[in-house]
Amino acid sequence: MASGGEHTNRLINEKSPYLLQHAHNPVDWYPFGQEAIERAKRENKLIFLSVGYSTCHWCHVMEKESFENEAIAKMMNDNFVNVKVDREERPDVDRIYMSFVQMTSGGGGWPMSVWITPDLRPIMSGTYFPPVDRWGQPGFGTILQRMADKWRRENDKLVEFSSAVVQAMNESLRVEGSSSDDLKIEEKFRECTKIYKGRFDGVWGGFGHSPKFPEVSRIHFILHAFIHSSIFLGNVDQDLFHAVSYTLTKICHGGIHDHIFGGFSRYSVDQKWHVPHFEKMLYDQAQLMMILCNCYRVRPQKLFLDTADRIFRYMRSDLRDSQGAFYSGEDADSLPTHAAPEKIEGAFYGWLKSDIEEAFEENAGKLSGFTFNALDVFLYHYNVKEEGNVEPHSDPHGHLQSQNILMITGSAAKTAEHFKIPLEDLEKMLRTAEGFLHEIRCKRPRPHLDVKMVCAWNGLVLTGFSKLASLAESSVHEECAQAAGELFKFIQEEFFDSTTQKLKRVCYAASEGATSTPIYGFLDDYAFTVRGLLDYYEFSLRPDVLEFANKLQGIQDQLFWDIEHGGYFYTEENSDNLIVRMKEDYDGAEPSGNSMSVKNLVLLGGYFDSSDFRDKATKTLRHFGAMSHFGYALPEMMSSALIQDTGVNEIVVVGPDDDATREFLKIIREFYIPGLTIFHVNPENPKDFAKIKADSYKMVNNSATVHICFNQMCLPPETSVENVRKILAEKYFHPK
């Protein structure tokens, strides 16, 4: 990546780490905006739009090979207006042109390369291009020359073609919603679960083949499906829970999990979760923390809680800004040594067997209390080999030759059994070894850290922290609760602009300064933040948190709601320089804003008895429900549809703020209850929105009392802790 030198372009004035990485390219880069567009129109030049993000490995490769190449840069500067976009800062621009890439090629990814007319209509696209012709693929220089020649010779044809492209894009975005009140939710549910069972990888977990992404939205839906089937269909479908539990176990054991620092890489390049693409993204950490906690609530497994704790420690140590919010992620590439001239992928994460042997020898004193050979046990447990454990097809560039990516092929219990040692001793030894290996790895050159704080992703973090803080068994639940409170404060004071009454998409560390022109939030920023607030309220029961969620939902409705067809647009009306107004209709690495919004609306409708929120949830489901394979494309929305269809689960705890009341709240938090609305009514001082419940729900015999309503039916009030636990366990499977 360029960092200083003889060239400096306009990107030097930006805050985005990705744009700043390109500020010293010889390419005459512009940020996306009016200046670049006006120049393209004035000179009648095509715009070359390059979209990526700072932790993207192949973005770095293309920069080094092409954008730092003087000859290629000259060709770009002479023939095009060149525009760089950080997809995390401007997801609106990214999604519009990615839809074109996918429509014309059937695939997509980053770096994204698109040639667009001066009025921003796309005519040609691709992803990574090598600098010269190779691998049967035309080189970037060849493509540049072709596009320049074609624009000069066939300008009118290309303009006509671009108009047809935009028309086709608009047509593809039209979804004919259902006019029927019967959305056939159960029918769609059965179809969806059948598809997932068919795609489940019974050997390695997950769905499909390589590359493998965690796909948390899908895992979360299947967990909800397990609960739903048992309660409403009378079928305890163990295959569904096995798909969730087995997948999470394999992910936790795999090389995609950083066994030394904690946290997870974005995906694995193989089927067995072993060799990752090493970038670590905030949204993955947040979502995996959430699903691990929820699965633990259904059937507690120590592995899941321990892994969630480790994610938290990693985030607190390596991704947290001093003000309480969290950075976007860490790069896949780093220098193999401090003296090395070039970064390579995975350098920070691999281990030579000899390095581990040396580390154990140097730390023999820390291991002297164990009665077994700690080194042999560690090498066995993590599948470490002399020749390295990375298969050649997973390492096409040879960066990981002789390296080991730590991966558990069995389990802690199997390792302990193999060596005939107590499990507790094994776990203690592993923690000790991981501690001194952590110290060794800290001395290596660190991957680049993207210090951009994205509102939507911090909303996901608030959800993850709220779930973990709710589990008293967690070793970090108190620190997690504090971190959640600090993050809520940051969202209120920094992400929310009190002047414009809007969320900002990004904030930067105080040392980086604020952006000169704020980038205001998109649908995801509101939907994910509202979800985070609802989950944080469920944990904290702070009325101000719920009121803020209600406020943000109202702002979201004003800015993004489609009055005519239902559902939410991704961008505000009349946004500058956007050729289409999109609606997200797919849950991928992140859930779509529409999927998240349905559950938000259903829950807020329950909390505030709002028919408007409930109607918007129904209209959104009607809009997307007519899609082919609705549940498979939108598993998070399918989950929300189940809650809408069966009704929210309401629990009201009436009692003073004392130990008895807190014990009831602690028990309730032990369970995964989809679609829960929870109220604490202190009869001595009912607060805000909970006052209405004070008239309907009372204490029995002057004791703290729990009122439980689910499936549109209320049970008799309970004053017994054990009875409440038993009632919830009968529905939600917590066998403690």
pLDDT band at 711; cut points 50, 70, 90: confident
Q: How far apart are CA 188 and CA 233, in angstroms?
A: 14
* Contact between residue 61 and residue 397 where contact means Cβ atoms under 8 Å apart: no
Assess whether pLDDT exceeds 80 at residue 500: yes
Give the tens place of pLDDT for each residue, 189-248: 999 999 999 999 999 999 989 999 999 999 999 999 999 999 988 889 999 999 999 999
Q: Class for domain 648-735, per CATH?
A: alpha beta
Per-residue pLDDT at 627: 76
Q: Name the pairing type of β-strands 676-681 and 649-654.
A: parallel
Average pLDDT over residues 375-385: 98
Give the tens place of pLDDT for each residue, 99-111: 999 988 878 899 9
Q: How far apart are CA 439 and CA 432, in angstroms?
A: 11
Q: Which of 173-187, 317-331, 573-587, 701-715 has the lowest mean pLDDT?
A: 173-187
Identify the burial level of 466 via C-beta atoms within 10 angstroms of its C-beta, where 0-12 means exposed, 13-18 middle and 19 or more buried.
buried
* Contact between residue 334 and residue 343 where contact means Cβ atoms under 8 Å apart: yes
Q: Name the pairing type of β-strands 80-86 and 29-31.
A: parallel
Output the CA torsion sign for 707, 690, 528, 321: negative
- Domain 11-173 coded CATH 3.30.70.2740: no
Average pLDDT over residues 469-485: 97
Q: How far apart are CA 278 and CA 263, in angstroms?
A: 11
Q: How far apart are CA 303 and CA 85, in angstroms?
A: 40
Share above pLDDT 90 across residues of the chain, in percent, rounded to a whole number: 86
DSSP conformation letters of 123-156? EEEES---SSSBTTB--HHHHHHHHHHHHHHSHH
Give the tens place of pLDDT for each residue, 280-301: 999 999 999 999 999 999 999 9
The domain spans of the chain are 11-173, 203-449, 648-735
Assess whether pLDDT exceeds 60 at residue 678: yes
Q: How far apart are CA 534 and CA 541, in angstroms?
A: 10
Assess whether pLDDT exceeds 60 at residue 4: no
Q: Which of 370-379, 404-413, 430-439, 575-584 has the lowest mean pLDDT?
A: 575-584
Per-residue pLDDT at 629: 76
* Contact between residue 640 and residue 192 where contact means Cβ atoms under 8 Å apart: no
Assess whether pLDDT exceeds 90 at residue 465: yes
* Contact between residue 465 and residue 489 where contact means Cβ atoms under 8 Å apart: no
Q: Indicate if 648-735 has the same CATH topology as 11-173.
A: yes
Per-residue pLDDT at 173: 73
Does residue 573 come out as left (phi exceeding 0), alpha (psi in the -120 to 50 range) or beta?
A: beta
| CA max distance for the chain | 88
Assess whether pLDDT exceeds 70 at residue 381: yes
Mean pLDDT for the chain?
Answer: 93
Give the tens place of pLDDT for each residue, 303-331: 999 999 999 999 999 999 999 999 999 99
What φ, ψ does residue 194 adopt, rounded to 5°? Answer: -65, -40
Assess whether pLDDT exceeds 70 at residue 507: yes
DSSP conformation letters of 375-391? HHHHHHHTT--TT-S--
Assess whether pLDDT exceeds 60 at residue 654: yes
| Cβ partners under 8 Å of residue 368, min gap 6 | none
Which amino acid, residue 590?
E
| Cβ partners under 8 Å of residue 531, min gap 6 | 459, 460, 463, 596, 599, 600
* Contact between residue 625 and residue 188 where contact means Cβ atoms under 8 Å apart: yes
Give the tens place of pLDDT for each residue, 251-262: 999 999 999 999
Give helix 593-608 / helix 523-540 axis angle, nearest 10°.
40
| Three-state DSSP class for residue 340 | coil
Q: CB 232: neighbour CB atoms within 10 A?
A: 14
pLDDT band at 448; cut points 50, 70, 90: very high
Give the tens place of pLDDT for each residue, 20-34: 999 999 999 999 999
